[in-house]
Structure formats: structure tokens, C-alpha cells
Amino acid sequence: MSETKPPPVKLAFSHVGIHCLDLSRMVDFYTRALGFTETDRGVVRGLDIVFTTWDPADHHQVALVSGRPDIAGFNHINQLSFRVPKLEDVQAVWGRVKDEPGVHDMRGTNHGNAFAFYFRDPEGNRIEVFCDTPWYISQPCIELLDLSRPAAEVMAEAEAFCRSAPGFKPITEYQAEVARKIARNVADLSG
């Protein structure tokens, strides 16, 4: 008897994280030569990270991360990220892959501006499946997230956390600020 699988969650490619040999040089290149706008920067697990975007609706499209060793064979791609519409979809992906052979290094994360599920595929590539939240807080933010809990509980707890976090504002207000920054960058690069 064949088991019927639920339809797959539709994944949309969102952003990439790149480990860099020279973070300052890469930030300069991506912002000056390619016209990305820096949206945040900080330190995660001892590595410097700079978030950049072209689109105010995306907190970042390219994350530049320090720590790339100068050796052959190191995979400088930090992660492949896929956006889904809602928290329940992140939870559905978690439910589908958590028991897959070879999948490891699984972690649910509340970033404040997104709920994410990180895992390594069977060959060790890091994958992120995430959905946006209606809030912005200063980044980086990494809070553990239990994806087995009901979505309504997760949302209520996350909103309370975000409202007390540095930089809290509705995502629409943050996106309007980034749109103005991008417009200034475009004007500066054009003239």
C-alpha cells in the first residue's frame, strides 16, 4: 500500500550568505560596485556579518560573513535560503525533513524579523527555510525556536520578545526606511 504524501511546501529562493576572506573588501564591492545597501551588521558565533539588500521588502539578499579560511576545499557559501509564506509552512518542512537520513545540525531560530529552520542536507550544505514576521528588530538576533509548538503560541511569544528588543518597529516602517536608504544610494551612484 502506497502512502500518500502531503503536497510539498512551495519554496522561493530568497538570499545567500557568503563566507569572505576580506570582509571589508567584499562589503565595499557589494555596496559600491553592485549597489547593495547595508541594512545591519553584527557578530554571530564569533564571526562578523554584514547584511545587504536591493529590496526594502528583504532585510538582506546577500549576507557577507567573515571567517573564510584561505584554503582550497572550503565551501564559502554559508547557506541557501528559501522563503515560505507562513510559520506553519516552516513547521511543515521541519516535520518532513527532521527524520530524513543524513539530515543533521537542525535548529529552529527566531530572528525577530523571521522564523527560520536551519539544517544540513545529506552532503552537509546548510539550508534555511524561513517566513517573515510583521516586526523588525536589530540584527543579528538568534533565539532558539521550538518548531513543535503550536504556531499561535510561537507567534504570541515572539511578538512579546520583539516588542522588548532593541530597534523594534513594524516591518512596514523598517521597509520604508530602507527604501529611502536605497534611493539615496542609487542617487549617489548615479550622480
Q: Domain span at residue 57?
A: 12-181
State pLDDT tens for residues 167-177: 999 999 999 99
User: Look-up: residue for cell 541557501?
Assistant: 80
Burial grade of 166 (CB within 10 A; 0-12, 13-18, 19 or more): exposed
Q: Is residue 87 one of the residues assigned to a domain?
A: yes
CATH number (domain holding residue 65): 3.10.180.10
pLDDT at 1 over 80: no
pLDDT of residue 72: 77
Give the strand pairing for 104-110 and 143-144: antiparallel
Q: Helix, strand or coil for residue 61?
A: coil
pLDDT band at 5 (very low <50, low <70, confident <90, very high): low
- Rounded distance, CA 16 to CA 173, Å? 24
Helix 87-97 vs helix 151-163: crossing angle, to nearest 10: 120
The residue type at 162: C
The answer to whether residue 114 sits within a structural domain is yes
Is pTM beyond 0.85? Reply is: no
The set of cell numbers assigned to 154 is 510561537
Decide if pLDDT at 58 tops 80: yes
If one counts the domains in the chain, the total is 1
What is the residue whose three cell numbers read 584561505? 70
